Structure 1
Amino acid sequence: MLSTGMGRVATTTVTVRSISMALIAPRRTGCGVTPLAFFSSAASPSKSRKLVLYSKPGCCLCDGLKEKLQAAFSLSGPDSLHDVDLQVRDITTNPEWENAYQYEIPVLAKVLADGSEETIPRLSPRLGVELIQKKIAAALREQ
């Protein structure tokens, strides 16, 4: 699902089993990286695990995490994240998100069974893809 607000990508829902990457309207960013958005055409399973990534355009840390998440979600093994739905939220499209996360992004949160969100401890930009996969899998098991 891709919704827009004020011409920007606001929310993107991802079914990780068939993740693909698209470049969204090339923009200049402080670190020369074109922002990325993920999308999928596959239907979401009803019992999938869900994550929310709060980010904003031009955030180098956000772009780096998005790329590592895409790679981590494609890995197999006991900590596979193939059933995880990722929703990317642009904080600049919602004042509540912007007030909550403007100094913290990127923020990754898991969606609990009751629909509430719980923030996952910050993942260092220096972590490798395999370790990111393991940390996310462990955080999702803690429900």
Structure 2
Amino acid sequence: MATAAAAAAASIVLLPTRRASPASMMKLSRRLNCSYSTSRKQLILYSKPGCCLCDGLKEKLQSAFSLSSADSYSLHDVDLQVRDITTNPQWEKAYQYEIPVLARLRSDGTEEVIPRFSPRAGVDHIQSKLAAALSRDN
């Protein structure tokens, strides 16, 4: 089935939910970044457990990945890393009032925050906005 193959192509990485030290999070982040293929685009979703807006966006992102066609700009080569802000004091301080925050990882390792999607935005709208954001160089 085409949608099953598409869903398998886009990967989601869930970071640990236990409170981790910043040093251990950096080690994990480095390990994750080293394992990624350089041709894959990377998105980061800052979230926390129990956030209904975060859960809604995760569902829409998964649908956008699985419904992406190979003909248009493909979201098949995208890795989505979900970061629980409660596991890192820096993330929690930066995003506690802003979640969900979606960012793309640039080739130089910096993050660019993607403008927030309306909770009412449809999957098609999210697909087109993500495609535009990911097609930009750096």
Short-chain TM bin: 0.7 to 0.9
1:103 lines up with 2:103 in the alignment: no
Indicate conservation of the 8 Å contact 2:19/2:88, yes or no.
Answer: no
1:46 lines up with 2:21 in the alignment: no
Task: Provide runs of 4+ in structure 1 moved above 4 Å.
Answer: none
With the length of structure 1 as denominator, give the TM-score of the two structures.
0.71
Higher-RCO chain (CA-CA 8 Å, sequence separation at least 6): 2
Higher normalized strand content (fraction of residues): 1
Aligned length: 111
Letter in 2 for 1:91: I
Report the aligned-residue RMSD.
Answer: 2.2
Counterparts of 1:102 and 1:2, CA distance in 2: 18
> Could you tell me which residue of structure 2 aligns to residue 70 of structure 1?
62
Shift of the alpha carbon at 1:44?
4.5
With the length of structure 2 as denominator, give the TM-score of the two structures.
0.73
Partner of residue 122 from structure 2, selected from 124, 128, 136: 128
Higher normalized helix content (fraction of residues): 2
> Could you tell me which residue of structure 1 aligns to residue 18 of structure 2?
6
Indicate conservation of the 8 Å contact 1:79/1:133, yes or no.
Answer: no
- In structure 2, stretches of 5+ residues that fail to align are 1-12, 30-34
**Residues 88-112 of structure 1: per-residue CA shift (max 9 Å, x gap):** 0000000000000000000000000
Indicate conservation of the 8 Å contact 1:55/1:62, yes or no.
Answer: yes
Shift of the alpha carbon at 1:142?
2.0
- In structure 1, stretches of 5+ residues that fail to align are 14-42
Counterparts of 1:86 and 1:122, CA distance in 2: 16
